[in-house]
Structure 1
């Protein structure tokens, strides 16, 4: 019997979270998709892994026996993949990011890193908002610039910059005439949202921490440029970090501070179990000052 690694990861996450809702948020997938994959795995195995109860999921006897086996298998695969990838690209680090970073962070950091590792290459890649870990979760990035919160416990972070949240508005929007905007003034506005897969990061950029009632979602976007194109077209408004308001200036857009919101936090992130010296030298090379 063959099982897909993705299904096994879904099984472990669901076993650890005990509910499909929590596991789906952790995995950045929808609840129906996760439930479908779990049932497919159970059919393939020929036995149930979970007993479904009103308060959540409980492992069956077979599921309890399977869990340590699957954990060991996945750990071995992850170690092996990392080792082979290092052979393929032995002197390259991939830095993921969700938006333009700017803030004089990247250039000096790469220069400092290369002074310590002169034969290494630092590659930058843009990752969609549907992966709030910017490639760390699936191993396609080694280090990442991310906006907090990051929903996985096995990712370490260090905050680099704290910035006020601003509102991005169409230039002709009535609120654009104000020097600053209260979040209460945005209560009836339609928002351009990050995808559901962004999890708690989507909620943060919708201001759910300040007003947990549901917001009207006009559209979803997986990249900063998509967000701002939708805003300039008048589809909706969006929240954005102050530094990004400067980086993404363009015709048709106005940015105004929303001072009653908690600031956004830009962080450098890496996998806790990645002990390579190059990773920690690169992280330490990023100086927020």
Structure 2
């Protein structure tokens, strides 16, 4: 187990030990309950012992968990202290932060509001990315920190969810479903669709709803690398597209209609980074952004 993964698991153990409630601990950590349960099982497997006794009604620390907890908290405190020291030691540095086109600017600037005053030694270079690289420079190393929409195919990615949105269908105004109040995904799978470029990888697959197509290929009508291009093609009747509810505010125009899709899981926006590629200054910026997450994490569009 690498050091980054070990530290993350220790933080999860501390959070669950503090709350003795998977739901509350998962909310505090900004992860799902299944992800927390899997992480605790991974930690228990790694150390070779049970840390929690759990049943359908309660969670309690085992003897091992109670005795180990003070050592874990001391280690986490020392790690935080080490980062506090490096903040004072690090010199001036430029940190590259990226966001995905059409979805991240306002939220990104909210998360970074006041960062220049709090971290005056750091200079941020902020870059917008289109759909050809939904990893927002993380895969290539062009950016250290990204505001993006999951999923993306980046190894060793760590992320914190900061917003959730529902799926909507973007339709030409003359489409037979344009006046519907809501739709189900199965009604749309045979429609010609405007999709991201092939370089988008798993992100493209996600926005084609490939998980519910049972291996049947999508009827790809065209590719678009920006929301401007995508909505223009839809307005021209080239095809439909799947997108998020924030687009109803940002890209509404006379030639298209947005109709909610009621049976898709929420799309999540996350602050993401690769721990092994994060500079000392980048760690400071991530920590700054995560301190501001509670104010944004309940955001719905």
Bin the TM-score by the shorter chain: 0.5 to 0.7
Q: CA RMSD in A?
A: 2.2
Of 242, 255, 258, 1:252 maps to 255
Displacement after TM superposition at 1:282 (Å):
4.0
Partners of 1:119 and 1:251 lie apart in 2 by 47
Per the alignment, residue 167 of structure 1 pairs with: 169
Please list, as runs of the form range in 1=range in 2, the aligned pairs for 1:94-109 lying within 5 A after superposition. 94-101=96-103, 104-109=106-111
TM-score for the superposition, normalised by structure 2: 0.62
Instruction: Assess, with a 3 A threshold, how the Cα gap between structure 1 residues 98 and 108 changes in structure 2: closer, same or farther.
Output: closer
Q: Which runs of 4+ in 1 moved over 4 A?
A: none
> For 1:148-182, what per-residue CA distance to the aligned partner results, in whole angstroms no more than 9, with x for missing partners?
11212222111111211100111221211101112
> For 1:165-216, what per-residue CA distance to the aligned partner results, in whole angstroms no more than 9, with x for missing partners?
1001112212111011121221321000111111111111011122232110
Structure 1 residue runs without a partner (length 5+):
1-85
Partners of 1:285 and 1:138 lie apart in 2 by 27
Of 266, 280, 285, 1:279 maps to 285
Per the alignment, residue 41 of structure 1 pairs with: none
Q: Please identify, of 121-130 and 182-191, the stretch whose mean Cα deviation from structure 2 is larger.
A: 121-130
Displacement after TM superposition at 1:105 (Å):
2.0
Question: Is this contact kept in 1: 2:108–2:147, CA < 8 A?
Answer: no
Displacement after TM superposition at 1:283 (Å):
3.3
Please list, as runs of the form range in 1=range in 2, the aligned pairs for 1:208-227 lying within 5 A after superposition. 208-212=210-214, 213-227=216-230
2:252 pairs with 1:261: no
Instruction: Assess, with a 3 A threshold, how the Cα gap between structure 1 residues 192 and 281 changes in structure 2: closer, same or farther.
Output: same
TM-score for the superposition, normalised by structure 1: 0.64
Partners of 2:102 and 2:128 lie apart in 1 by 8
2:234 pairs with 1:231: yes
Question: Is this contact kept in 2: 1:143–1:283, CA < 8 A?
Answer: no
Displacement after TM superposition at 1:102 (Å):
5.1
Per the alignment, residue 31 of structure 1 pairs with: none
Per the alignment, residue 92 of structure 1 pairs with: 94
